[in-house]
Structure formats: C-alpha cells, structure tokens
Amino acid sequence: MKIVHIITGLDKGGAEKALFKILKSMCNSYSFEIICLGKQGYYSKEINDLNIPIYYLNLKYKPFSFFFGLIKTYKLLKEINPDIVQTWMYHADLIGGIASKISNVKKIYWTIVTSNTKISFLGIKTFLILCICALLSYLVPTKIISVANTAIVSHKKMLYKSNIFIFIPIGFEKNLYSKKITNSLDLKLIIKNKINGNLILGHIARWHPNKNQKLLIELLSVLQNKKINFFCVMIGNNFNSHNTELKNLLIKFEINKKNILLIDEVKSIDLFIQQFDLFILTSLGEGMPNVIGEAMSNSIPCIASNVGDCKNLIGDTGWIFESNDINQLVSSVEKAIKLKSDKEKWITKKNECQNRLFKNYSINNMKYKYDKLWNA
C-alpha cells in the first residue's frame, strides 16, 4: 500500500515528531512518501535514513503560494498515484486536501495536532485557514485523525464535520538510550547539581509565546525567593545567550545564573530527561504533547498546564494547573517537593508515570489503530 504524507514542514515540532514515529515504526509494512510544503528541516535526515523519499515545495507563504503549492502537489500526486494521502496541520490539510481530491485519491485523511483554536493562539492567517478547512471538512477528508480528544471537541465547536473524527493518540516506547554518562559538559553540570541536592526542573520546547516560558521564569523567581534549591534546565530551539527576549526576562525576574542552564540542541535527549526530578510544561495550547510522554517514558513526574490532552495523559501521576496561573503552578511544585521528601512514595510515583503511559499510549496501540484505519 502506497501512502503519501503531506506536512507543512519538517523542523522540530509535535506534528513532525508524531509523523516520524509512524514512519519509523511502520515503514516495513507500507510504502511511504513525503511531500513537505516547506524546506528541509531537522527530521529530513532522520526520514532519509529510513529510505523514504521527500519532495520539497519550498513554499514561502506569499500571496500566490497557495496556487503554486496546489499545482505542485497535484502534479506529484498524479505521478505517485497513492492509495492514501494523510495531511498534517491546517496548511497541509488545505493544500494537500484539495490537491488529493482533484487527483481522485480515494482515501484522504487530515491530521489535527492542536486543541487551541483561538485566533489569539493561532494568529489571523492560520485561523482563517482553519475556518476554510471547517467548510471543506464536509467535502474533502474521508476521516479526520486527531491525536487529542480535546482537539476533537474544539474543532467540532469550529463547525468541522462532526461524524468523521477518529482518535489516534501518539504512541510511546521505552527508550533505548544507555543511562551511562557521556562527555557532555552540560549533562555533567546537571548531574553535579543533582548530587548537590538541587531540585532538577526540566523544560523542553521551542522558544515561542504559545509555550509561555515567561510563566516558567516567573516560577523560578518565586522559588528563589522561597529559598528553594533548584537547577532549571531549558532545552530547545533558541534557548541560548543570543535570545534577547529570554535574557531580558531572566534579568527582569532576577534569576541567578547558577540556577539555570540554557541548551539550544542536544543529542540523546533521554539522557538529559533521566536527570530531571520534574518536567514542567507551561503552554497556552497543545494537542497531545510529545514531551510529556517522553518524560513519563523515563519515569519523570510532570507538572503541566491544563491544555490539550495533558490531563488525560498525566492522570494522577503528576500535577495539573490552570493555564497561566502562577499560584497553582507554585503550589504544584511545592506538592511535588513534599512528595519527593518521602523516597518510597517518590519511587512509586515515578513508576506510575511509566506504567500509565505504556498501558494507555503504547507505540503498538498506535500502530494497531493506523493499520485498522488504513486497511478499512
């Protein structure tokens, strides 16, 4: 069976990671090809290593990009002649969906990865595309795949066709990374702080207003004032000394440089996650965040804002606070610190994280649901 995935870009992100997991775990069973509306990104090499062809449209999202993208995608689909087309994110749903329809592709699946449909979160252009997709949902897709139950609810409210949604959560597996210490100076610094008794707080995301890192920095300020010993590790795109906005926030909230480590890129991310005591997510909107699953797969309790499917994912293995509520966030951290003081209870909590994840969100469960859908 030949399946074409059409995606907006291949840089680091939740949708891109979810797509890569599907490709990696199912490439021996299906013939995959990728159409990327943008240019090469982080996952390009990873996908190439799987011997999966990628076609780049290099769209720049200017006024006529839609028409160029539509024509290029149509031509590629006529050449490839796939059995199924699955699109990822709104721009790809629009361009890839229409191109697939006029190419007479029999099965067209859209994929939704975010629950927040507010214009303030998406921006005007993306919100308008969402509204167009809501209308087209009655004409184009065979099914709409959602990685989050909350995303189904929010998109039905946006008047998407309600009876074609299917929930397929992102799957996770036990990491294969060695737990031995590498030569990374950053990792050694984290381990040193852990040995010295500091609470290791972890945060992995790209620097972006929707990720609400300002709230995290505000939390660090409160912890400092409460004389709580901590070391916060922030990993992701643009977490570096060149980020003026980040630097200004650290100065504004008077964060001691000894209490924080900024890392732009890392390899073997699990080696870093394994050193965290707590993982913190402060986002204003998510679907089903990969990073929460990755933390739980390493037995790291999580504190997350009540967005997307975070509450369903974490359950009672961690703590949920209302989005942008600093008081609830601080309270959650204090509850975690109190629990951590009881070694036996903390080990139980860590084990619960991994057990819950693999019981409800295993990679095999994801593969089973895609097999069932694609072969229906």
User: What's the CA gap between 240 and 361, in Å, rounded?
Assistant: 33
- Give the closest residue to 256 by CA, choosing from 235, 233, 231: 231
Q: What is the pLDDT, as a whole number, of residue 135? A: 98
pLDDT band (50, 70, 90) for residue 177: low
Whether residue 180 has pLDDT greater than 60: no
Q: What is the pLDDT, as a whole number, of residue 60? A: 80
Q: What is the pLDDT, as a whole number, of residue 64? A: 80
**How long a stretch of residues is the chain?**
376
Helix, strand, coil percentages, rounded to 5, for the chain:
50, 15, 35
For 12-38, how does the pLDDT look when each residue is reduced to its tens digit (9 = 90+)? 888 999 999 999 999 999 999 999 999
Quick one: fold of 185-360? Rossmann fold (3.40.50)
CATH 3.40.350.10 matches 2-171+362-374:
no
pLDDT band (50, 70, 90) for residue 147: very high
- Give the closest residue to 267 by CA, choosing from 193, 358, 178: 178
User: What's the CA gap between 273 and 279, in Å, rounded?
Assistant: 8
Q: What is the pLDDT, as a whole number, of residue 65? A: 87
Least confident of 56-65, 199-208, 340-349: 56-65
Residue that wins the pLDDT comparison between 269 and 64: 269
What contacts 300, CB < 8 A, 6 or more positions away? Answer: 202, 273, 274, 276, 277, 278, 279, 350, 353
β-sheet with 54-56: strand ranges across: 54-56, 31-36, 2-7, 84-88, 107-112, 143-146, 165-167
The answer to whether the CB of 187 falls within 8 A of the CB of 271 is yes
For 235-256, how does the pLDDT look when each residue is reduced to its tens digit (9 = 90+)? 999 999 899 999 999 999 999 9
User: What's the CA gap between 96 and 111, in Å, rounded?
Assistant: 11
Q: What is the pLDDT, as a whole number, of residue 39? A: 95
For 84-101, how does the pLDDT look when each residue is reduced to its tens digit (9 = 90+)? 999 999 999 999 999 999
Q: Are the folds of 2-171+362-374 and 185-360 the same?
A: yes
Q: What is the pLDDT, as a whole number, of residue 74? A: 97
Q: What is the pLDDT, as a whole number, of residue 174? A: 79
Whether residue 267 has pLDDT greater than 80: no
Least confident of 126-130, 155-159, 175-179: 175-179
pLDDT band (50, 70, 90) for residue 179: low
Q: What is the pLDDT, as a whole number, of residue 173? A: 87
Stretch 252-281: mean pLDDT = 93
CA atoms 116, 120, 123, 129: torsion sign: positive
> Alpha helix (H) ranges present in the chain?
14-26, 42-48, 65-80, 90-102, 119-122, 124-136, 149-157, 185-195, 213-225, 244-252, 269-273, 290-297, 310-314, 326-340, 343-360, 363-374
For 314-368, how does the pLDDT look when each residue is reduced to its tens digit (9 = 90+)? 999 999 999 999 999 999 999 999 999 999 999 999 999 999 999 999 999 999 9
| Portion of the chain with pLDDT greater than 90, in percent | 91
| Portion of the chain with pLDDT greater than 70, in percent | 98
Enumerate the domain spans of the chain: 2-171+362-374, 185-360
* Consecutive H or E run containing 6: strand 2-7
